[in-house]
Amino acid sequence: MNVHKIVIPTPYAIGDVNAFLVKGDALTLFDVGPKTTEAYEALKWGIHSAGYEMSDIEQVVLTHHHPDHAGWVDAFPDAAVLGHEYVDHWMRKTNEFIVYRNEFYRSNLRLQAVPEEYIEQIVKVRGEMELFGTTPLTQFINDGDEIPGHPGLIAYYTPGHAQSHLIFVEENSRVAIGGDLLLDKVASNPLVEPPVDLSNVRPKSLLQYHNSLILLQNLQLRKIFAGHGNDIENINDLISLRLEKDELRAKQVLNILSTPKTVFEVTKELYPSIYKKQLGLTLSKTIGHLDYLEKEEKVKKHLEGEIYVYYC
Ligand SMILES: [Zn+2]
């Protein structure tokens, strides 16, 4: 695969994001950075340094809908825009979808015993939409699809970090564009998001994420071009490390549940120094560990009024 990496700054804690320009039968840009002026400059400079103009880009392919990856689709008005169907909701941002999304979070956060004053804060922060792109997709990509203009480059649906997450594997060379499925320095957070079918059933993001990691392990890849940080070659070691860390966290959660607790109470004990600043994220992590322990039949939950209480 003829890959040119473009490093793009973001205003997020994660730091820089990577876009990848790939020359095949088509000239395709995988991910585009957040919609900031700094990111636009980096993108333009990166495309120039590969010997092209912005207007030469024929296709934009998105690994997932998060704004650090999907913002500047708007800079390529003439290009085809491809991604998972779910990305399209985040591009169009219809009133109906935004109302659905907000209600999804509100009802879930109430089940988790999050105090009302925090709920609107989380709904609003997650709703900061200005760094998102606004260009609807021209084509949806499904699991197993070949990317147009790139024979042998196959999409794999890998949800967990995002409900729209895809990776793109070149079957012959065993090289992939990996989005945020696996990162070298940090764990990919299994964020709670409304489901792809727009029902009110919360996806179990950490369980999905673990399944996606196992899929990745079985793909036996040689190299991943990751969405943040360095390219990854020690793939299976890194996957084992991520799974072991989650196992340790789950054990911690089990200890915390020596007495019955709500998700909010577990989160406060598990992440005492950061839960206030990063409540949405830490709640997502706690729920992930609880889903895992439930699946392992180590914890149970029941409704007390309109709140879930977890116990061993
Ligand atoms: Zn990312």
pLDDT in tens, 160-174: 999 999 999 999 999
Distance 135 CA to ligand 1 centre (A): 19
User: Which residue's entry shows tokens 């079957």?
Assistant: 171
CATH of the domain at 8: 3.60.15.10
Residue 164 belongs to some domain of the structure = yes
Q: Give the Cα separation of 44 and 102 in Å (integer).
A: 35
pLDDT beyond 90 at 13: no
What is the per-residue pLDDT across 56-66, written as a single tens digit (0 to 9) for each?
A: 999 999 999 99
| Confidence band of 125 (pLDDT split at 50, 70, 90) | low
- Do residues 185 and 265 both lie within one domain? no
Residue 57 belongs to some domain of the structure = yes
Residue 136 belongs to some domain of the structure = yes
- Of 101, 51, 59, the C-alpha closest to 83 is 59
- Do residues 121 and 158 both lie within one domain? no
What is the per-residue pLDDT across 134-185, written as a single tens digit (0 to 9) for each?
A: 999 999 999 999 999 999 999 999 999 999 999 999 999 999 999 999 999 9
Mean pLDDT along residues 27-49: 97
Residue 238 belongs to some domain of the structure = no
Angle at 188 between CA 184 and CA 189, to 5 degrees: 155
Distance 191 CA to ligand 1 centre (A): 12
- Do residues 206 and 152 both lie within one domain? yes
- Of 5, 1, 2, 27, the C-alpha closest to 18 is 5
User: Which residue's entry shows tokens 């999050």?
Assistant: 114
- Do residues 144 and 279 both lie within one domain? no
pLDDT beyond 70 at 272: yes
Residue 239 belongs to some domain of the structure = no
Structure tokens at 257: 């549940």
pLDDT for position 234: 96
SS3 label, residue 224: strand
- Do residues 79 and 102 both lie within one domain? no
- Do residues 58 and 149 both lie within one domain? yes
- Do residues 62 and 157 both lie within one domain? yes
Distance 188 CA to ligand 1 centre (A): 8
Distance 173 CA to ligand 1 centre (A): 25
Mean pLDDT for the chain overall: 95
Angle at 53 between CA 47 and CA 57, to 5 degrees: 80
Residue 155 belongs to some domain of the structure = yes
CATH of the domain at 270: 1.10.10
| Confidence band of 127 (pLDDT split at 50, 70, 90) | low
- Do residues 287 and 194 both lie within one domain? no
| The domain boundary residue, chosen from 233, 252, 273 | 233
| The domain boundary residue, chosen from 206, 233, 260 | 233
- 255 in Cβ contact with 241 (< 8 Å): no
- Do residues 59 and 107 both lie within one domain? no
Q: Give the Cα separation of 29 and 21 in Å (integer).
A: 5
Backbone angles phi, psi at 194, to 5 degrees: -60, 150
- Do residues 178 and 81 both lie within one domain? yes
Ion ligand 1 contact residues with beta carbon within 5 A: 68, 180, 227
Distance 179 CA to ligand 1 centre (A): 7
Distance 255 CA to ligand 1 centre (A): 31
Q: What is the DSSP track for 156-187?
A: EE--SS-TT-EEEEETTTTEEEEETSS-SSSP
Distance 1 CA to ligand 1 centre (A): 22
Burial class (CB in 10 A: 0-12, 13-18, 19+), 95: exposed
| Confidence band of 121 (pLDDT split at 50, 70, 90) | confident
| Confidence band of 210 (pLDDT split at 50, 70, 90) | very high
pLDDT beyond 80 at 117: yes
Mean pLDDT along residues 305-311: 96
pLDDT beyond 90 at 124: no
Distance 73 CA to ligand 1 centre (A): 15
| The domain boundary residue, chosen from 233, 259, 286 | 233
Distance 227 CA to ligand 1 centre (A): 6
Strands 80-83 and 139-140: parallel
If residue 68 lies in a helix (H) or strand (E), which one and from where to where? helix 67-70
- Residue 273's domain comprises 95-127+244-311
| Confidence band of 132 (pLDDT split at 50, 70, 90) | confident
Give the count of domains, the chain. Answer: 2
Category of 170 on φ-ψ map: left (φ > 0), alpha (ψ -120 to 50) or beta: beta
- Do residues 215 and 123 both lie within one domain? no
- Do residues 17 and 56 both lie within one domain? yes
Distance 258 CA to ligand 1 centre (A): 35
Distance 183 CA to ligand 1 centre (A): 9
pLDDT for position 122: 84
